[in-house]
Amino acid sequence: MSRDGGGLRTRVKTARGRTAQSTRWLERQLNDPYVKRAKAEGYRSRAAYKLIELDEKFGIIRNSKRVVDLGIAPGGWSQVIKRRLPKAQVVGIDLLPVDPIDGVTIFQMDFMDDAAPDRLMEALGGAPDLVLSDMAANTVGHPQTDALRTMALVETAFAFACDVLVPGGTFVSKVFAGGADSQLVAAMKRAFTTVKHAKPPSSRKGSVEWFVVAQGFKGRAVTDDQGED
């Protein structure tokens, strides 16, 4: 490694067995202020600051008592919840293994598994007032396919939120550039009082990710009525 600009930036030399792409990734990580801040403040990833910034803008965490964290790995979002609301019940799920977090129940399984919603709700012990989804499909390198696969996860998370949220609850989900598609946004606006898209400052400028924030869930009766066309 070397430093340029008077020690302001770390440059990574390409090592044997390391691709140019992985070298660029490592260099970006070493120079990312959010990565450094996460290490200093004990968060597992820089993603924690995306939730913190969304909360500062929309007040999504507030006095939540029960929270579901979909796509919990590596755990930064649940860390934020537990630090701000130590008494909140939090359950999370991910295909990847996640190191334990005090006060958080974690399932290593596919959220698309039919058994997943019941497992989450049983562990939570009651209806959540906040459903978070940082899920994204593994990319295949084809932008349209990647967007469709991730949007399918968003739609499934939204359907889950409508099934389980308490009236007045909040749903937050990662989406790709352009946000949720128009039909899904229309469905969200029927189910929630407000629906907005946001890109927090900690989301890298070159990233295609955005977040949709739906607040003020109108209740199951409303969503059930809307399905009877």
Query: What residues are annotated to the active site?
Result: 174
Q: How far apart are CA 105 and CA 23, in angstroms?
A: 36
What would the two tokens of residue 170 be?
A: 């909040």
DSSP-assigned letters across all residues of 83-117: HH-TT-EEEEEESS-----TTEEEEES-TTSTTHH
SS3 173: strand
Of 127, 131, 129, 229, the residue nearest 187 (C-alpha): 229
